[in-house]
Amino acid sequence: MNNSILVVVLASAVVYGTPLLYAALGELLAERSGVLNLGVEGMMLVGAVMGFWAVQRIDGSGSAVLALALGVAALAGASMALIHAFLVVTLRANQIVSGLALTIFAGAAGLSSYLGNDLHLADSPAKHAFHPVAPSSLQDLPVVGPVIFGQSVLVYASWVCVLAVAFYLARTRPGLNLRAVGESPAAADAMGINVTRYRYAHTLAGGAFAGLGGATFSLAITPQWVDGLTSGAGWIAIALVIFAFWRPGLCLVGAYFFGAFAALPFTLQSRGVTVAPELFQSLPYVMTVLVLVLVSSAGARRRLGAPASLGLPYVREER
């Protein structure tokens, strides 16, 4: 039973969906503050390469090194996000172009590749990687075994993050303030909330999460570093936030949904189903477009949930 296509796909969906989930949660926070950050792909790659570097170069016990590597990855992602935050919040630059610039700078032909090469990371597999942690007795349970218990710590941590972000937004005062900043920075400002600080903080948090998402690739999924490892996952994560109507819970659902499409080609191939791989590989991208169309046209008049100030700089003194 656990070898049936359905179960394998479900389990893989969780695996492939996890980096999407991290990146989407991060982008969700940034967008809730009104900052659109299209540099997710770049931030993920930088997080992936720096996390990988940490694992290869730092000596110590497996779990300690891995934990440290995650911290490094998050930090790397956040520093990339800092550039974007500075440009769009302080200098009021066009958010779309700045995000694209970040992707160019940090992405597959940019900084991540530069670092990967300079630090000679490309040839060897990871010294430590994330593996499933549950005892095999649990892993052998029908269906839930592989799907839930066969996952690594990163997956479980991502579930905690979803709950944390949801609680933060709905029930805490900073979360309320954040939502106000995203919907109406003028109102928030008039109530004494520091719009700049909130936008910086949440954009950086977005970068940190993206870094973690990237590290999921280089330390769990393909424990190796390759140029352009994420192959578009960052963009799917951005679409995912829209698909999830800016709500963390739906991000989880969406991430696994897209993860399934990413996993499908490999699963089918290993079953010897000979259909041109490219057609399957294009599935996640095609699905993204379809989902986006559905979501955008249904809410064309009433953009459900898009923070009203998304993409616009907030200027207090402008006449």
Partner 1 sequence: MRLRGITKVFPGVVANDRVDFEAAEGEVHALLGENGAGKSTLSNILTGLYRPDEGEIELYGEPAEFHSPRDALDAGVCMVHQHFRLVVPFTVAENVALGDHRKEGSAFLVRPRAIERGVAQLSERYGLHVDPRARIWQLSLGEQQRVEILKALYREARILILDEPTAVLTPQEAETLFRTLRAMAAEGRTVIFISHKLHEVKAVSDRVTVLRGGRTVATVSTAEATRRSLAAMMVGREVDVTRRRERDGEIRGPALELEDLWADGDRGGSAVKGVSLTVRAGEIVAVAGVAGNGQRELAETVTGMRPRAGGAVRVHGRALRGGDAREAIRAGIAHVPEDRLGTGVAPSLSIASNLVLKSYRYRQLALGPLLRLRAIREHAVDLIRRYDVKASGPHVPARQLSGGNLQKVVLAREFSGEPRVLVVASPTRGLDVAAIETVHAYLRGAAAAGVAVLLISEDLDEILALADRVAVMYDGEIVGEVDAATATVEEIGLLMAGGRESP
Partner 2 sequence: MIRIERRLRQPRWLTVVVPVGSLAIAFAASALVLAATGHAPGHTFRRLFDAAFLAHGALSSSVTSATPLAFTGLCAAIAFRMQLFNIRGEGQLYAGAILAAAAALLLHSLPMAVVIAAMVLAGAAGGAALALIPGFLRAFLSTNEIITSLMLNYVAALVLNYLIFDSLSYWRDTSTPEAKVFPQGKMLPASGTWPSWTLHGVLVPLGFLLGIALAALVWLLYSRTRFGFEVQVIGDSPRAATYAGMRTRRKILAVMALSGAAAGIGGASQDGDFRHLLDPRGLSQSGYGYAGIVIAALARYNPFAVVLIAFLLGGLQNAGYTLQGADFPSGLVGVMQGLILFSALGAELLVRYRIRFARPRGRGPALEAAG
What is the C-alpha to C-alpha distance for residues 176 and 186, in angstroms, rounded to an integer? Answer: 15
Q: Which is nearer to partner 2, 183 or 227 (CB)?
A: 227
- Pick from 242, 250, 255, 263: which binds partner 2 (CB under 8 A)? 242
Q: Which stretch binds partner 1 (CB under 8 A): 51-59, 148-156, 188-196, 217-225?
A: 188-196
In whole angstroms, the minimum distance from the beta carbon of 43 to partner 2 comes to: 12
Measured between alpha carbons, how far is 290 from 308 in angstroms, rounded to an integer?
Answer: 24
> Alpha-carbon distance 188 to 168, whole Å?
18
Q: Give the nearer residue to partner 1 in terms of CB position, either 187 or 273.
A: 187
161 near partner 1 (CB under 8 A): no
SS3 236: helix
Of 3, 61, 118, 123, which one interacts with partner 2 (CB under 8 A)?
118
Task: Pick one of partner 2, partner 1, none as the site partner of residue 12 (Cβ within 5 to 8 A by kind).
Answer: none
Number of Cβ atoms within 10 Å of the Cβ of 212: 30
Closest by CA to 265, choosing from 240, 297, 231, 295, is 231
CA atoms within 13 A on the CB side of 199: 32
The reply on whether position 223 binds partner 2 by CB under 8 A is no
- 293 contact choice in partner 1, partner 2, none (CB below 5 to 8 Å, kind-dependent): partner 2
In the DSSP assignment, the letter for residue 313 is -
Q: What are phi and psi of 152, to 5 degrees?
A: -85, 175
The answer to whether residue 267 forms part of the interface with partner 2 (CB under 8 A) is no
Task: List the beta bridge partners of residue 152.
Answer: 132
- What is the DSSP code (8-state) at residue 310? T
CB 252 within 8 A of CB 83: no
Closest residue by Cα to residue 29 from 81, 105, 72: 81
Closest distance of CB 78 from partner 2, Å: 17
Q: Does 171 bind partner 1 (CB under 8 A)?
A: yes
Q: Is 163 in the site for partner 1 (CB under 8 A)?
A: no
Q: Which does 193 bind (CB under 5 to 8 A by kind): partner 2, partner 1, none?
A: partner 1
Residue 108 touches which of partner 2, partner 1, none (Cβ within 5-8 Å per kind): partner 2
The correct pick among 175, 228, 299, 311 for binding partner 1 (CB under 8 A) is 175
Q: Single out the residue of 68, 93, 134, 186 in contact with partner 1 (rule: CB under 8 A).
A: 186
CA distance 23 to 244: 13
**Cβ count near 182 (within 10 Å):** 26
Question: Is residue 187 at the binding interface for partner 1, with CB under 8 A as the rule?
Answer: yes
Measured CA to CA, the distance from residue 206 to residue 234 in angstroms comes to 12
Task: Quote the DSSP letter at residue 246.
Answer: T
Minimal distance, residue 156 CB to partner 2, in Å? 30
Question: Exposed e or buried b for every residue in 90-126, given b needs 16+ CB within 10 A?
Answer: eeeeebeebbbbbbebbbbebbbbebbeeeebeeeeb
Q: Does 286 bind partner 2 (CB under 8 A)?
A: yes
> If contact means CB under 5 to 8 A according to the sort of partner, which of partner 2, partner 1, none does residue 106 touch?
partner 2
Interface residues toward partner 1, by CB under 8 A? 171-177, 179-180, 183-184, 186-194, 301-302, 308, 316-317, 319
Write out the residues near partner 2 by the rule CB under 8 A.
Answer: 38, 83, 87, 91-94, 96-98, 100-118, 232, 235, 238-239, 242, 276-279, 281-282, 285-286, 288-289, 292-293, 296-297, 300, 318-319
